[in-house]
Amino acid sequence: MRLSVTAGLLSLALSALPLVAAEPRPVLHVTGQVADGAQAFDISELRALPATTLETSTVVTDGTHRFTGVLLRDLLTRLDADGDMVTAIALNDYAVDIPVSDFDKFDVILAYSMNGEALDRADKGPLWIIYPRDAHAELQDIRYDYRWVWQLSEIEVR
Amino acid sequence: MRRLGGSGLGLILPLIAILVFAVLLTFSLLRMVEVETDIRVDAERNMLWVLHQSESAARRLIETTMRAELGEADAEEIALRIDLLRSRFALLQDGPQQRFMTEIGLQRQLAEMHATVQALQPPPEDFTAAEARQIRGAVTHFPAFFARAANKTMIREWDDLGGRLETSRDQLRQIIASLIGIMVTGVILTVTLFLALRLTRQRNDMLRRERDFSALLISSSGEGILAVDDAGRCTIWNPAMAAMTGRAAEQAMGRKLSEIAGFFDIAPMRQAVAASLGGKTTTLALQPYFRDAHEPPLHVDLRISAMRNDGRVVGAIVFMHDASDRHAARQKEAETRARLEHLVAERTRELDDALTRERSAANLYRNFAGMISHQFRTPLAVADSALQRLIRRGARADADEIAERAAGARNAISGLTRLVESTLDAARLQAGQVGARRVACDLTAVLEMVRARQCTASPDTRIEYHHAEAVDAIVLCDPAHAEQVLENLLSNAAKYAEPDTAVSMHLHHDDAHVHCDISNAGLAIEEADRAQLFDANFRGGNSIGTQGTGVGLFIARSLARMQGGEVSLLPDGTRVTFRLSLPRLEGATE
């Protein structure tokens, strides 16, 4: 099964590569109360930011995984975002409100790779909000589980 | 017995309650942990939402291809929808989700669909309507599958939920039952605790009352009571003790006994206290207690015993009883007894004397016939001899000679008369007037008279008479009996004397008696005869061939004893000496 998934991912990566190389598409839009109006990031811009790696289990996979990405509080600070709440919106229109205090209390990252491999749009990529679930017992709760937004495409600061 | 059973039950019931309490508590805790775990695990399942999202992704792809055919959607949008559908399959084919799909039996179908999705190629920029239709054709049955899967999931999850709710309800019911049990045992324990507390209070009250009562007993006791702890310090000193010793409780409490009074430092007291600390009880009777050097002492009885607590000796208790009255009574009793003993001894001696005299008189009269034959013969012989000589002389006798012979005869007869009178008097005296005839009498005169008569009876025998210087010869006696005794002794001495030897008479005195020793140089009396010599009708070995009746010495002693005197044979010397002792008048009156 895993083999077939990997094969799928590979074929996807091969087919997507020329596209990305030709014209870098923005993968994340930050809107709402940010200093210079709406901002857009392509994947290389995000990768250029200081990276954080954390290892945790998830509720939808077995075992633990190593995620690498940008600390959300750093990102919001960089953008001079002014709000108590953000709305995270996924490619499939899934939307959930997350208090900004979560990012201060926990090292929540905007992951772009899992176990050293880039997250794919055909899986949970390109961006996945990851909470350090194993490091904090209080995060092992369905009220936090629904904040793990994958295929993230937009953050609206409110 | 009932009390013992009660206390056993009282102990077992709370123990059982505690045990039940602990078991129920553990049980309900375990159950609660199980419920808590169930709740946490179950909350992670969200398959309905996943399937809904999957169906939604499939429909959006179909919808996008339709819109593409109409020229409303481009290739990029189709590629996004394909990726989103792929991501749903990726999710469904991962860990927990895949396991669930296997459980509801749709995994195989899902895998086939997954392969289909993976095989889909995103359309090129300039795609045709046919290409869009082809993509739609590949996934057109997907929504129906996901709807069916959602249906199954719903049933599965509801079954599951129902089962879990039932399990949880069971567990909660067990927990509720346990809690009721815990409550009941809690009530039992509370009641037991309350009862125990009440009992403790009652016992404390009882103990306090007993202690108060003991204190009252000690303070109102007439006996002195003191107690010391095992270090020898005074812990109890009651008012009676204070009154007896003259030392107040404040002066005694907390001090060593030896510091309180010297009396408690004497050896018997120290030993008794030490012994009582070793568990032994000692009684000391009539110990003198000097409160003041100038006053007579109290005499006290003491009882020293161990004071125990739970079988362990914690000190000594001393009971002190003032026995001065008893001591005084005992003293007086001792004095009375001594006086009585003295009196009895005196009376006994008097009675012994009287008895001796009585016996002598009785013996004398029993042997009256013998005495007559013996005592009366001598004067009769003297008178007869005088008269025979007078007859033989006949006309040759002149007036002087006649007078002399007659006087001799008369003298003998008057002696005989005196003897008869005296003997008759003695018979009267025996009837209860012993000693009434004892008068003061000069023994010298009696002795002289007897000597003269002896000279007459046996002219051949020489009689020497001498006495100590300034002899006091005044005695208390019956003169006739004294004369008789001396005459017997003298005639015996003359009779048993060796021929041509002198008989001697020696008069002297000591404090109480006048002694007259009459001795001769005769045959020594054998040792065996000495003891029987004074018995009636006994004649010694040296008297063979000599005329005699064997009552002379017996009569002499009897008569002597009748008047408080004695006749004795002096220890063997060169001469045979008999002694008459008679009480001195002065010694007797003194």
Q: Pick B551 or A147 by higher pLDDT.
A: A147
**Mean pLDDT score of chain B:** 83
Question: For residue B303, which phi and psi values (nearest 5 degrees)?
Answer: -130, 120
Contact state of A123 with B96 under an 8 Å Cβ cutoff: no
Q: Which of B56-70, B103-117, B173-187, B527-541 has the lowest mean pLDDT?
A: B527-541
Q: Which residues pair with A96 in a beta bridge?
A: A88
Instruction: Report d(CA B409, CA B411) in Å as an integer.
Output: 5
Rounded to whole angstroms, the Cα distance separating A125 from A114 reads 10
Q: What is the pLDDT of residue B126?
A: 81
Please state the φ and ψ torsions of residue A25, each to the nearest 5 degrees. Answer: -95, 140
pLDDT value of position A6? 40
Contact B96 A1 (CB under 8 A): no
Q: How many helices (H) and strands (E) does chain B have?
A: 20, 12
Do A113 and A92 touch, CB atoms closer than 8 A? Answer: no
The mean per-residue pLDDT over the stretch B493-507 comes to 85
Q: How confident is the model at residue B367 (pLDDT cuts 50, 70, 90)?
A: low
Q: What's the per-residue H, E or C state across B457-493?
A: HCCCCEEEEEECCCCCCEEEECHHHHHHHHHHHHHHH
Cβ pair B95:A142 closer than 8 A: no
Strand partners, B288: B299
Nearest CB neighbour to A91, from listed B43, B80, B95: B80
pLDDT of residue B587: 59
Give B114's contacts (C-beta < 8 A, 6+ positions apart): A4, B89, B92, B93
Who has greater pLDDT, B484 or A1?
Answer: B484
Residue type, B57: A
Task: Please tell me which residue, B160 or B62, carries the higher pLDDT value.
Answer: B62
Torsion of CA B212, B213, B215, B216, to 10 degrees: 120
Cα of B31 to nearest chain A Cα, Å: 22
Counting runs of H as helices and runs of E as strands, what totals does chain A give?
A: 5, 10
Closest CA of chain A from B96, distance in Å = 6
Tell me the mean pLDDT in the region B515-526: 84
Q: How far apart are CA B356 and CA B363, in angstroms?
A: 10
- Report the residue of B83, B85, B100 to disrupt the A interface, i.e. the one with the largest count of A CBs within 10 Å: B83
Beta strands in B383-455 (DSSP E): 439-442
- Percent helix, strand, coil in chain A, to 5, is 30, 35, 35
Q: Map residue B503 onto helix, strand or coil.
A: strand
Tally Cβ neighbours within 10 Å of residue B585: 20
Cβ-contact B383, B409 below 8 angstroms: yes
Distance from CA of B133 to the nearest CA of A (A): 21
**Disruptive mutation site among A3, A5, A17 for chain B (greatest number of B CBs within 10 Å):** A5
- Please judge whether A59 and B40 are an interchain contact, meaning their C-beta atoms are less than 8 angstroms apart: no
Tokens 């995984």 belong to: A65
Query: Please, which residues bridge with residue B504 across strands?
Result: B464, B519
Q: Residue A137's closest chain B neighbor by CA? A: B40
Q: How far apart are CA A42 and CA A40, in angstroms?
A: 7
pLDDT (average), residues B13-20:
84
Contact between A124 and B43 using a beta-carbon 8 Å cutoff = no
Residues of A in contact with B80 (CB under 8 A): 91, 121
- The values of phi and psi at residue A78, to 5°, are -55, -40
Nearest residue to B426 via CA among B239, B560, B538, B256: B560
Contacts of B96 in chain A (CB under 8 A): 59-62
For B191-212, how does the pLDDT look when each residue is reduced to its tens digit (9 = 90+)? 888 988 999 999 999 999 999 9
Judged by average pLDDT, the poorest of B17-31, B373-387, B535-549 is B535-549
What Rg, from alpha-carbon coordinates, does chain A have? 15
How far CA B455 is from CA of A27, A31, B46, B450, in Å, comes to 195, 193, 178, 9
Asked if B84 is an interface residue toward chain A (Cβ–Cβ < 8 A), one would say: yes
Output the six-digit token pair for B291.
Answer: 């409160």
In whole angstroms, what separates CA B454 from the centre of its chain? Answer: 82
Q: Does B57 touch chain A (CB under 8 A)?
A: yes
d(CA B48, CA B71) in angstroms, rounded, equals 34
> How many beta-carbon contacts under 8 Å exist across A and B?
65
C-alpha B462 chain-centroid distance = 84
HSE-up of residue B158 (Cα within 13 Å, Cβ side): 5
ipTM: 0.75
Q: Do B94 and A145 touch (CB under 8 A)?
A: no
Backbone angles phi, psi at B320, to 5 degrees: -125, 125
Residue B586: closest CA among B515, B510, B507, B516 = B510
Tokens at A29, concatenated: 């839009």
From chain B, the residues in CB contact with A8 under 8 A are: 86, 90, 118
Residue B380's pLDDT band (boundaries 50, 70, 90)? confident
Q: Calculate the alpha carbon distances from B298 to A148, B241, B243, B321 in Å.
A: 107, 13, 12, 10
Helix axes B47-69, B129-139, angle to 10 degrees: 160
B74 touches chain A (CB under 8 A): no
pLDDT of B436 above 60: no
| Residues B303-362 pLDDT 10s | 999 988 888 888 899 999 888 888 999 999 999 999 999 999 999 988 987 887 777 777
Q: How confident is the model at residue B557 (pLDDT cuts 50, 70, 90)?
A: confident
Contact A124 B96 (CB under 8 A): no
Give residue-wise pLDDT tens across range A41-96: 888 888 999 999 999 998 888 889 999 999 999 988 888 888 899 999 998 888 99
User: Which among B550, B362, B580 is positioned nearest to B482, based on CA atoms?
Assistant: B580
Question: What letter does residue B226 receive in the DSSP assignment?
Answer: E
pLDDT at A12 over 80: no
Q: In what order do the strands lie in the sheet with B234-237?
A: B234-237, B224-229, B312-322, B298-309, B282-289
Judged by CB atoms closer than 8 Å, whether chains meet at B40 and A62 is answered as no
Q: What is the pLDDT of residue B376?
A: 74
User: Nearest by CB to A61, which of B94, B111, B118?
Assistant: B94
The answer to whether the Cβ–Cβ distance between B122 and A4 falls below 8 Å is: no
Q: How many other C-beta atoms can be found within 10 angstroms of the C-beta atom of residue A155?
A: 26
Residue A21 has pLDDT above 90, yes or no: no
Residue A139, both tokens:
């995060």
**pLDDT, position A3:** 39
Mean pLDDT of all residues in A95-108: 92
Q: Which two tokens stand for residue A155?
A: 């953050």
Q: Which residue has the tokens 């899967």?
A: B149
Shortest Cα distance from A35 to chain B (angstroms)? Answer: 31
Checking if the pLDDT of B43 tops 50, the result is no
A123–B98 CB contact, under 8 Å: no
Q: What percent of chain B has pLDDT over 90?
A: 11
* Count of CA atoms in the C-beta half-sphere (13 A) of B249: 12
- The neighbour count for residue B157, using CB atoms within 10 Å, is 18
pLDDT at A52 (0 to 100): 92
Average pLDDT over all residues of chain A: 82
| Those residues with Cβ within 8 angstroms of residue B7's Cβ, 6 or more apart along the chain or in another chain | none
The yes-or-no verdict on residue B551 having pLDDT over 70 is no
Per the CB < 8 Å rule, is B80 touching A11? Answer: no
- What letter does residue A158 receive in the DSSP assignment? -
Cβ distance of B44 and A94 shorter than 8 Å: no
Q: What is the pairing mode between strands B282-289 and B298-309? A: antiparallel
**Which pLDDT score, from 0 to 100, does residue B168 have?**
84
Interior CA angle at B132 toward B130 and B133, to 5°? 65
- Higher-confidence position of B7 and B419: B419
**pTM for this entry:** 0.47
Mean pLDDT of A124-148: 88
Q: Where are the beta strands (DSSP E) in B22-91?
A: none
Q: Which of B5-14, B164-173, B427-436 has the lowest mean pLDDT?
A: B427-436
Mean pLDDT of B399-410: 84
Percent of chain B with pLDDT over 70: 88
| Closest by Cβ to A60, choosing from B40, B97, B115 | B97
- Are B107 and B101 in contact by the 8 Å Cβ rule? The answer is yes
Under DSSP, the state recorded for A107 is -
Q: Which residue has the higher pLDDT, B450 or B370?
A: B450
Residues of B in contact with A63 (CB under 8 A): 95
Query: pLDDT tens, B220-245?
Result: 888 889 888 888 889 889 888 888 88
In the prediction, which pLDDT does A17 show? Answer: 44
Phi, psi of A89 (to 5 degrees): -120, 135
How high is the pLDDT of residue B428?
55
Chain A residues lying within 8 Å of B83, measured CB to CB: 12, 91, 120-122
For residue B576, the Cα-to-chain-centroid distance in whole angstroms is: 70
Locate tokens 């074929």: which residue? A11
- Find the helix or strand (DSSP H, E) in which B177 lies: helix B142-220
Nearest to A151 among B87, B98, B111 (CB): B87
What residues of B are in contact with residue A60 (Cβ under 8 Å)?
Answer: 91, 94-97
What is the SS3 assignment for B357-386?
Answer: HHHHHHHHHHCHHHHHHHHHHHHHHHHHHH
Q: Test A62 with B95 for CB contact under 8 angstroms.
A: yes
Name the token pair of B541.
């070995």
